A and B are shown apart, each in its own frame.
Chain A
């Protein structure tokens, strides 16, 4: 568990390992970085903090040779570097773990680790050496896996750890981790932090990017805040406070991250009895109108599968679902929609949106399906979409803008608009704020709270503890496909929830 982990004191030397000066980078129409200076010392953990679109990712891509800067210099240990292709950066000792993992799911763990440098003997693959070395590398991150296994069979967290092990094994001098914890549970996050500190105490410098403020206090020595392509603050973590970081980051005071006022609990809107699927075992719960019902579990506990089961994605073997006392037997998502459910999937880009279509098209797709329309109504489309754009403050040039060009938070709001356009009785959100920035998060919480006050039933399935505790009126904790405990808002503490989650 993250909280019990104590930050180790490692020594940061004065020696500058990597230095970037006056970095500018423009894309057509956007100045992504203007005059950014950043340094990192040997054995230092520097957190990069900023809203989505602030320029963090661009900076990382410049540092790791994926983008070429328009002006400015990057130097390693005093030597100016000119990265032409990403492997130049790798050879110079920069290891990057990207947000989106790179792996080939159909080949073994060992082959994935050694991709590009498979050990050979007389021109043939030296399997013995490869598997032995792979096992050693996996041990680095404490994974006990058979390197012959297909990487596709691993959990997301395991894949992430394998990726980290792979990068660390390259003797990197600078490690860059881009939101490494978004798919990890608290235990795995704790483990990752230990790894980072171990690396740092061995003299490796680490750039750490995350939206989760709490993490930074545990892992970082110094935080660099980026806003609108400029560095707006460099703060020693010993003196930093959460409010201070947030205000530097968004340029305004966020008085309350979780604006929970709450609604008045009403009738039971969703009742689930003995729901059993391939990954769920006899799940029963009731969610009421005017309340937020939180579902929490560690990775692989099946909490994600509840959304899929309720929404007709998985085959239900047993059990009953009632929406406002009417039985629902969802065979397809459309059945669930017609019964009054709406669902925000966990993966925005692969499950939520059709990225090459416009904001309006994505907003209205559910409406046409639910109302069995045959002809498009462009006028209504524009009017309704405009309504949501204004209501939720979606930052988009027009409603006809391709949704791919929007930031993560705005994309999430488009999915929310689509769900609310269905006028649902029950709104289910799977990881409602994964990978979006603090400002947008807070706005989404506000929307959810407002729905609650309007007497709607909201269900959030989440792996983020602060979000769960701050927003839920009732909490169901899951472990190994079963319900391991119910916790009410009053008695909810992180300790209790985690205890249930690990199966106690």
Chain B
């Protein structure tokens, strides 16, 4: 009993000293608030529902976290997901099975990542500028594939990825959780993950220490493209169609989750677990407000305010008021 208490104390101590404190408090507050306000909120079914819809952004947030930790940014994830969704729809409609469709979709994602990676690591363009450009071009490409139309997918096996359940748990949610576990392992236990943190902390020092900085960066964008592939598959399988305009807001949602989770846009800081909590906060907020029939305009305003509040709390905790500039 004593040791359990001690262990618990240690865990609490550890949590309260990390930047995760804010996001955990937000999560707890949210859950309490919505369960008091809505009788439908606190049920297994609703939580699985939340997981189902959080899965798409959740997947892509994993890799966006690593990109941000490395001190880079990718603003084109929404457009990449749109392209992937369209490719999946076209391939599936051409009569190929779900395996080929998924492979084609993932390949499309990796190709998008390679385009970003090429400009950022070979021509060494600024990541912000590069991905603003690819965001627009890839979005245009997604519209061009179907002349702006939605392309319905009818393959039930493919649809299962998005809408099916395995042992009562949505497939999408399982895929997302597996992704988080894998990315957690990458970030904590591999040399690649360590290199990502080092590069974000100081790219020049990392380079001189022997890290192949550009290779790691390129691989990060490939990985990010791959995860956009996964998210694109989930999106088109859930909606049952390739829709060029469906993923427009995913950029900012993914970035918001990463920031809520304590990652610094300047690099070197952040955790996969933090991002997981961050995406939970956003998904629950979304679900709760919908249950309370909050209008969608208000939802945007509130999500923005929550993000501002969380970041402000962390900044003040970090002593921003005591700093002169």
Contact = CB atoms under 8 A, between A and B. Distances in A.
Interface in A51-99: 85
Interface string B189-208: 11110100110011011111
Interface stretch (B48-56, B98-106, B209-217, B235-243): B209-217
A334 B212 contact: yes
Contacts of B268: 354, 356-357
B192 A366 contact: no
Nearest to A337: B210
A362 B212 CA distance: 16
A357 B200 CA distance: 10
A229 B207 CA distance: 37
Contact of B210 (A334, A352, A354, A362): A334
A208 interface: no
B324 interface: yes
A422 to B, nearest CB: 8
A313 interface: yes
Given A357-B198, A366-B210, A351 B204 contact: yes
A176 interface: no
B239 to A, nearest CB: 38
A394 B216 CA distance: 31
A25 interface: no
A29 B209 CA distance: 32
Contact of A365 (B190, B192, B198, B204): B198
A362 B210 CA distance: 12
Nearest to A336: B210
B190 A350 contact: no
B210 A369 contact: yes
A444 interface: no
A376 B190 contact: yes
Contacts of A313: 208
A375 interface: yes
A368 B191 contact: yes
B208 A356 contact: no
A136 B209 CA distance: 45
Interface in A286-341: 311, 313, 332-334, 337
A201 to B, nearest CB: 36
B201 A355 contact: yes
Nearest to A307: B208
Contacts of B191: 368-369, 373-376
Contacts of B324: 85
Interface residues of A, number: 29
Contact of A351 (B194, B198, B208, B210): B208
A343 interface: yes
Contacts of A352: 205, 208
Contacts of B210: 333-334, 337, 365-366, 369-370
Contact of B204 (A350, A361, A373, A376): A350
A57 to B, nearest CB: 18
B183 to A, nearest CB: 15
B212 A332 contact: yes
A313 B208 CA distance: 8
B190 to A, nearest CB: 6
Contacts of B194: 361, 365, 368, 376
Nearest to A403: B201
Contacts of A351: 204-205, 208
B201 A357 contact: yes
Most buried by B among A350, A357, A418: A357
B107 to A, nearest CB: 24
Contacts of A343: 208
Interface in B136-153: none
Interface of B: 188-192, 194, 197-198, 201-202, 204-212, 268-269, 324
**9 shortest interchain CB distances as A-B pairs:** A369-B210, A354-B201, A365-B209, A354-B202, A368-B191, A334-B210, A337-B210, A356-B201, A354-B198
20 contacts: A311-B208, A332-B207, A333-B208, A333-B210, A351-B208, A352-B205, A353-B202, A356-B201, A357-B198, A365-B198, A365-B206, A368-B191, A369-B209, A369-B210, A369-B212, A370-B210, A374-B190, A376-B190, A376-B194, A418-B209
Given A353-B202, A365-B210, A369-B212, 17 more contacts: A311-B208, A313-B208, A332-B212, A333-B208, A333-B210, A334-B210, A350-B202, A351-B205, A352-B205, A354-B197, A354-B205, A357-B201, A361-B198, A362-B209, A369-B191, A369-B211, A375-B189
